[in-house]
Structure 1
Amino acid sequence: MLSQESPREVISPEQDQRMLSTPVLCYIFKDKYLPPPIFHRLIAACITRWPVAKKKETSENLIFCGCCIFDVDLFHRLTLYCRSHIVFARITRMVIDEAKIPDTKLCTRVRKFISLNLNKIISYLSQNLQYGLSVQCTSSQGVSDDSKVYFSPMFDIWFAEESHAHDAPITPEHMNHARLCVALVTVCGNAMREVLRTKVPAQHTDIYQAILANKGKLTGRPGRPLLNPSQINVVFPDPQGKKTGTLDQFDISLLYILIRNISAVQAPIITGWGNDPQDQPRDTSLGASVERIRSFRNHITGHSPDAKISRQDLEDYWTKFEAVIRDIEKVIGRQVCSQELDRQKRQVISVYEAC
């Protein structure tokens, strides 16, 4: 590829009355790893779609090491560049007219083209790579600062057409709900798995033996088996019934049934099984903690009318999550999920602080 570095004004142009740029779209690769050939091939794919822009004064092609600018149409330019493990894209409207922002339909088309070709390239090179899409926030003064880059998983002009098409734009409250769902499934779900692994009835060597020993109880209860057909297929994937699925395949509802019916966990002291113990904060038993997680699952995912959570409710739920995980770890006698919950909490806080 070219050896000439892109000038700073190409990456961070000064806004003036003649042009207006979108926020920078960021393809952030997991594990901070992006092989250079992937970006090189992406540039090549874009060259087949749009001409490389030229510098007005010298007619020099605006292509550099790790950066290329394209004339998407008569009015818009695409700047595509790469730094470390992140691919950045920005569209700039270059003319004075009644339009105050870059064309939203064009932004959507460009994003889809980049994403489609990026996925094709990753697949072609047989790379097991994953990336996330975010929009780069500027600093509080509205000027890009290379030493401090903020990321926020928000929707803006790059996704405006899709939001309008469905008449349901993604809001911060939707993102709060998504964050809670992730914490619920990963952290609280893993905590329940540890409870099930730890509290195996004395007559069994491990939880899988306990599940096999209770197959009749779980599947053959007259009139109303404990497990529904889809759960039975997950727990007993072997038609001959000689092995079970793994705990990592069990969701919170299934884990709850197994803990309640075949583990050594005792029912909540005050409320018993099947009742919400949220009004009994002094009951910190494993059974109460399991019931609290079941209640979280019902309220956050099962019974949510609009998939929205306010910031205050997000913080309240996070405090409840921390208390439940702390109670479980205290009874089990070791850390199981608190560090992961702290990590996710720091991510949420950083997003709010950045924006």
Structure 2
Amino acid sequence: MLSQESPREVISPEQDQRMVSTPVLCYVFKGKYLPPPIFHRLIAACITRWPVAKKKETSENLIFCGCCIFDLDLFHRLTLYSRSHIVYVRITKMVMDEVKTPDAKLCSRVRKFISLNLNKITSYLSQNLQYGLSVQCPPPQDDDSMAGISPMFDIWFAEEGHADDAPITPEHMNHARLCVALVTACGNVMREVLRTQVPAPHTDIYQAILANKGKLTGRPGKPLLNPNQITLVFPDPQGKITGTLDQFDISLLYILIRNVSAVPAPVTGWSKDPCDHPRDTSLGASVERIRSFRNHITGHSADGKISRQDLEDYWEQFEAVIHDIEKVIGGQTCSQELERQKRQVISVYEAC
């Protein structure tokens, strides 16, 4: 049936009085171009969520070339089909109770699922594909796939009250990839710095932290650690340490490295921009660079977007900093982790 065009009655609203359908939700791709793999991947995503409906008479799966029908529950069916540059979505309900319309919350959840997956698919396959969201009120006609399309509010947007789903752009995905690399590879290398740079006479970093409890918590009016960080770092009333090094984020790691470890301050001093001394590749300077990355990428980002060029630039800086740190403390685990993530990012761009 995958090679068979969907019959007209499949994509048309049911004529049975017991069946009621939503207006058709339309994802209209700009440039009047919809690459077939996008719709195929969308169908695949839906198959992982809902079972394909079956024809009553023959029990055949209702999946065709450019169309698939899913059972959402006992009373609702989802019809998903594409024509030209438009993806059409409709939900039909079998009326078995006093409620004569499809479930609004269900419709909203379906729309969110389809929008989310369509955004993921288009971001993965192409940086240039864009689409608009509209609602088609009259039934589609054979000779005019654009008939009746007009932006409007309806049951699909009952929960939000608006029809604007902010698209997830490739720049958003770049920012997310960079945040993951920052938290994992850069965060892990800072943990190794804290773990290995234990000041004498202590034998492990936890001893050093406990010895500096007054310094970390006793600053009048503004202790270095906030209550959540104190809970992670120091023992509870029963003497048990509930937090682990793996739970320390970059901000906490920076505070501990600066105030507890044996790492000396960089040439510019702590909390200063290490760019003023680019040749300073000491542990302190490298730690400051990671702090600066964290502030610029996550703390001070206004829109959560990173261009591809900025992504590549930041990635090179990540590699350099981790290399400088591992050159001092030994090991290659963090640089290998960053390289693995880089290969994944490159493979995504090469697929576009």
AA in 2 matched with 1:344: Q
Amino acid at match of 2:86: I
Greater gyration radius: 2
Aligned equivalents of 1:277, 1:105: Cα separation in 2: 56
The question of whether the paired residues in 1 share the 8 Å contact of 2:119 and 2:167 is answered with no
Secondary structure of the residue aligned to 1:103 is strand
Q: In the aligned structure 2, how far is the partner of 1:250 from the partner of 1:264?
A: 18
Which of 90, 93, 116 matches 2:81?
93
| Mapped contact 2:197–2:261 kept (Cα < 8 A) | yes
Say which of 340, 343, 346 aligns to 1:346: 343
Q: Letter of the aligned partner of 2:269 in structure 1?
A: G
* Partner Cα distance (1:239, 1:79) in 2: 56
Alignment CA distance shift 1:78-1:354 (3 Å): farther
Q: Structure 2: which 5+ runs fail to align?
A: 12-33, 72-77, 92-104, 135-155
Q: Deviations over 1:21-52 (max 9, x none)?
A: 72413559xxxxxxxxx97xx76xx36xxx41
Unaligned runs of at least 5 residues, structure 1: 1-8, 29-37, 64-68, 81-89, 117-131, 138-149
- Is structure 2 residue 34 aligned with structure 1 residue 78? no
Q: C-alpha deviations, 1:265-309, integer Å up to 9, x for none?
A: 0111x2011111024221110000000000000000001111111
SS in 2 for 1:234: helix
- C-alpha deviations, 1:179-232, integer Å up to 9, x for none? 111110111001100000010112111111211222221111223211122221
Matches within 5 A, 1:1-355: 10=2, 13=3, 22-25=39-42, 46=51, 51-53=53-55, 60-63=58-61, 69=62, 77-78=68-69, 92-93=80-81, 101-104=86-89, 112=109, 165-236=163-234, 238-243=236-241, 245-268=243-266, 270-355=267-352
How far residue 166 of structure 1 moved from its aligned partner, in angstroms, is 4.8
Q: Distance in 2 between matches of 1:215 and 1:24?
A: 55
C-alpha distance in structure 2 between counterparts of 1:258 and 1:310, whole Å: 33
Whichever residue aligns with residue 243 of structure 1, its letter is I
Shift of 1:331: 0.6
Measure the CA separation in 1 of the matches of 2:107 and 2:268. 56
TM-score in terms of structure 1 length: 0.65
CA–CA separation in structure 2 for the residues paired with 1:27 and 1:91: 14
Question: Alignment partner of 1:255: what SS?
Answer: helix
Q: 2 CA distance for matches of 1:249 and 1:154?
A: 39
TM-score by length of 2: 0.65
Q: For residue 77 of structure 1, report the CA deviation from its aligned partner.
A: 2.3
| Aligned-CA RMSD value | 4.3
Indicate the residue corresponding to 1:34 in structure 2: none
Indicate the percent of aligned positions where both proteins have the same amino acid: 64
1:91–1:102 contact (8 Å) kept in structure 2? no
Please tell me the residue identity of whatever aligns with 1:351.
V
The residue identity in structure 2 corresponding to 1:319 is: E
Kindly indicate whether the alpha-carbon contact (under 8 Å) linking 2:80 and 2:89 is maintained by their aligned counterparts in 1.
Answer: no
**Mapped partners of 2:251, 2:129: distance in 1:** 32
Which whole-Å CA distance do the structure 1 matches of 2:298 and 2:67 have between them?
Answer: 42
Equivalences, count: 277
Q: Name the structure 2 match of 1:5.
A: none
Amino acid at match of 1:349: I
- Contact 1:211/1:244 (8 A) holds in 2: no
CA deviation map 1:61-98 (0-9, x unaligned)? 334xxxxx369xxx952379xxxxxxxxx97527x8xx
> 2:118 and 2:258 mapped to 1: Cα distance?
40
Q: What secondary structure is seen at the aligned counterpart in 2 of 1:204?
A: coil
Q: Residues 15 and 213 of structure 1: is their aligned pair in 2 closer, same or farther, counting only changes over 3 Å?
A: farther
Quote how far apart the aligned CAs of 1:314 are. Answer: 0.5
Q: Letter of the 2:334 partner, please give it.
A: C
The 2-side partners of 1:154 and 1:244 are apart by 48
Query: Given residue 101 of structure 1, which amino acid in structure 2 is its aligned partner?
Result: I
| Farther off after superposition, 238-247 or 208-217 | 238-247
